[in-house]
Amino acid sequence: MGKSNGLGFWIACAVFLGAMLALTLVMKNEYPFFAGYVILQFIVLATAWNILGGYAGYVNFGTSAFFGLGVYIAVMLFKAIGAPIVVQIAGAALVGAVLGFGVGLLTLRMQGIFFSIATIAVTIIIETCVTNWKFVGGAAGIQLQRPPVMAPFDSYVKMLFFVQAALVVIAVALARYVQGSWIGRGLQALRDDELAAECTGVPTLKLKLLACCLSGALMSAAGAPSAMYLQFANPDSAFNLNYSVSALAMALIGGTAHWIGPILGAILLGVTQQILTVTISSEVNVLILGLMLVLFVVGAPAGLIGLVGFPWKKRGGT
Amino acid sequence: MSAPLLKIENVTKRFGGFTALDSVSVDIAPGERFGLIGPNGSGKTTLIHCISGALRPTAGGIVFEGRDVTGLPAHKRTRKGIARSFQIPRPFKTMTVRENLLVALDFASLDHGLSAAEQTSHVMSILERMGLATKVDAIASSLSQVELRKMELARAMAAKPKLLISDEAMAGLSSSEVDEVLDLLLKLSGDGITIIMIEHIMHAVMRFSSRVMCLDAGKIVAIGEPKAVMENKRVQEAYLGA
C-alpha cells in the first residue's frame, strides 16, 4: 500500500471532488445533498476516530464532544465576527486540536476502558459549559441566518455538501499519510504494547498526542458546517451521544486496520440510516446500528476489509 | 579497567511502603557479560526497569556513557543504546516479524535515511543470525515461545544497542533451546555488546557470565566471579531459604 499507488489516490480524490462539484451544479433537487451531507460528515468523523481509536487503540467515546465543540466554535465565530464558513472550520479545527491535546494528556494516566470513560466525562463537561454559555444561546439553542451563497453554488446546502466533501478528502489523505508513515508504525506498536514500544525507541506520548490532535481537529472541523446546515444549534443535538457511537461503529464495521475501512463503514451505515430515517423512523436507526455492530464484532472482527481479505492483513493475527 | 558503560548509583525504588531496591550500586564495564541472579521478588526486574526507563528510581541515579539518564524517558534511553527484552515476551503481536524489527529501525536506531532495500537487508541479516530468517513474514502472534524470545532479542538488536538487557530470555524453554539462546547471547557479546543477563537457569548463568551479582530483598548479597558468588553462603541461603 502507499507509495506505489500514491498518484492513483490523488487522482481518485480529484475525481471525487470533481464529481461532487458537478452533482451540485447539475442536480436541481436539494434533498440528496441534504442526506449526502450527513454521510460525508460521518466519513470524516469515522476516519478521524480511527486515527486514535484504530491506529493507536485508544477508544474515544468523546466524538460528540469534538463535534459539538466544532459546531459551537463555528456559531461563536459567526455570531461574533460574521466569519465565513472556511474561517469557521479552521477555527473549529484549531480548538479541536487543543481539546485533542488535552484528551491526549489523559492517556498518560489512563488506558483501555478508563480512557474511554474519561472521554465521556469530557463530553459532559464541555456540553455543560456550552449549555451555560449565553452568547451562543445557552440551553435553548440559537437560530442562525445563512449568509448569501457563494458562486458557483445555487443553494447553501449544496455548498455545504461540497465543503464537507473537501473535508472528506483532507481527512482521508491525513489518515492515509499517518497509516503509511513511521507515525502509523509507531502507533501500531504502542497499540500492541505500549511499554515494549517505548523500550523500542517509540516516543509513545508524543505520538499519542499527535494522534489525539489530528483526530480532534478533524472531528471539530466536521462539526463546524453543521450549524449552517441546520440553521440552528443547541447543546442537546450538537453533543448528541449518537455521534460518538456512530463514528466508533462505522470505523469498527468498516475495519480499523486501513484508512479505507472507516469510509466503507460510514457509507454502509450512513446510507442505511438515511434510508431507514425516510422509510421507517429515525429511532430505528439506533437499533439497526447496534445490531450491525454486534453482528460485525461477532462475525467479522476485522470489519468489512477483513471480510474482503486485503492481502496485507494475513490470517492468524488477532 | 576502562570507564564504566553503565553506573548504577545508590538506586532505591519504593512501591508505597515496600522497598524493592535498597541503594543498589554497581558499575558495568564495556563488553562485560554480567549475570544478575536472585530469588523471585528480589528486585532484579525492578532494577532492569530502572535502567531501561520503564520505572523512575525513588532515589539514586543511572549514568550511561558518562551521562546521567535518570530523568530520560525509556525511548530516549533506547536511542542512546540501552535495549532490552522482557521476562514475558512482549511482541507487537499484530505485526509481522519484519515489522517488529522495523519499529526498532525506524525509531531507535534513527536510520531514517535507509532505503527500503537497505532496511530489508539489515532486518534479514539480524534474523539470519537469530535463526529466524524463515519467519520474516510471519505474524508475531503465530510464533512459538522460543521464536518469540529470539524475536525479542532480534528487535533489541535492531535498535543497535551498546547495552543489551536480557530479562529471563530462557525461561520456559527446553534445554536445547536454552543452549540456542545462550549461544546467541555469546555471539552478540563477541560483537562487543555489553550484556546484562537475568536468569534462573544456573548453568546458563555460570557459562555466560564474566561477573555475577546476586540480589535478595532489594540488596546486593554478593558480587564477583560466578563461582565465588555461587559458593557464597548468603547466596545459597537466599535461594534455599535456609
Measured in angstroms, the CA of B186 and the nearest CA of chain A are apart by: 22
Query: How large is the average pLDDT for residues A75-97?
Result: 94
Question: Given an 8 Å threshold on Cβ–Cβ distance, is A186 in contact with B139?
Answer: no
Question: Given an 8 Å threshold on Cβ–Cβ distance, is B139 in contact with A314?
Answer: yes
Question: Given an 8 Å threshold on Cβ–Cβ distance, is A182 in contact with B155?
Answer: no
Sheet strand arrangement including B67-68: B18-28, B6-15, B59-64, B67-68
Residue B105 lies in a domain: no
Report the pLDDT value the prediction gives residue A3, as an integer from 0 to 100.
47
Contacts of A203 in chain B (CB under 8 A): 73, 75, 107
pLDDT band at A318 (very low <50, low <70, confident <90, very high): very low
pLDDT at A313 over 50: no
Separation CA A216–CA A218 (nearest Å): 5
Report the pLDDT value the prediction gives residue A280, as an integer from 0 to 100.
82
Residue B1 lies in a domain: no
Higher pLDDT pick, A223 / B41: A223
Report the pLDDT value the prediction gives residue A308, as an integer from 0 to 100.
78
Residue B140 lies in a domain: no
Q: Which of A184-188, A211-215, A305-309, B224-228 has the lowest mean pLDDT?
A: A305-309
Question: Given an 8 Å threshold on Cβ–Cβ distance, is A199 in contact with B92?
Answer: no
Report the pLDDT value the prediction gives residue A316, as an integer from 0 to 100.
36
Give the one of B110, B139, B159 whose C-beta lies nearest to A200's C-beta: B159
pLDDT band at A2 (very low <50, low <70, confident <90, very high): very low
pLDDT band at A317 (very low <50, low <70, confident <90, very high): very low
pLDDT at A314 over 60: no
Contacts of B103 in chain A (CB under 8 A): 185-186, 189, 197, 200-202
Nearest chain A residue to B94 by CA: give it.
A317
pLDDT band at A309 (very low <50, low <70, confident <90, very high): low
The per-residue pLDDT for range A260-287, each reduced to its tens digit, is 999 999 999 999 888 888 888 777 877 8
Residue B143 lies in a domain: no
pLDDT at B117 over 90: no
Contacts of A196 in chain B (CB under 8 A): 86, 90-92
Report the pLDDT value the prediction gives residue B110, as an integer from 0 to 100.
67
List the domain range (segments joined by +) for residue B68.
6-91+159-240
Separation CA B155–CA B103 (nearest Å): 8
- Interface with chain A: mutation pick from B77, B79, B88, B106, highest number of A CBs within 10 Å: B106
Say how many CB pairs under 8 Å bridge A and B. Answer: 93
Question: Given an 8 Å threshold on Cβ–Cβ distance, is A198 in contact with B95?
Answer: no
Average pLDDT in chain B: 90
Provide the residue ranges of all domains of chain A, joining segments of one domain with +.
12-239
- For chain B, the C-alpha Rg in angstroms (whole number) is 18
Our CA dihedral for B92, B93, B97, B101, rounded to 10 degrees, sits at: 0
The per-residue pLDDT for range B185-208, each reduced to its tens digit, is 999 999 899 999 998 888 889 999
pLDDT at A124 over 70: yes
Q: What is the pTM of this model?
A: 0.89
Residue B120 lies in a domain: no
Rounded to a whole number of angstroms, the distance between the first and last alpha carbons of chain B is: 37
- CA–chain centroid gap for B199, Å, is 10
The per-residue pLDDT for range A94-109, each reduced to its tens digit, is 999 999 999 999 887 8
Amino acid (1-letter code) at residue A226: S
Query: How large is the average pLDDT for residues A188-213?
Result: 94
Separation CA A15–CA A9 (nearest Å): 10
Higher pLDDT pick, B56 / A290: B56
Is B220 within 8 Å of B24 (Cβ atoms)? Answer: yes
Higher pLDDT pick, B116 / B95: B95
Separation CA B201–CA B35 (nearest Å): 11
Measured in angstroms, the CA of B96 and the nearest CA of chain A are apart by: 9
Report the pLDDT value the prediction gives residue A312, as an integer from 0 to 100.
47
Q: Does A198 touch chain B (CB under 8 A)?
A: yes
Query: How large is the average pLDDT for residues B105-122?
Result: 80
pLDDT at A1 over 50: no
The CATH number of the domain holding residue B30 is 3.40.50.300
Share of chain A above pLDDT 90, in %: 67
Q: Does A192 touch chain B (CB under 8 A)?
A: yes
Residue written as cell 480499523?
Answer: A256
Domains held by chain B: number: 1
Cβ-based interface (< 8 Å): residues of B facing A: 52-54, 73-75, 78-79, 83-84, 86, 90-95, 99, 102-104, 106-110, 112, 139, 141-142, 155-156, 159
Separation CA B198–CA B44 (nearest Å): 7
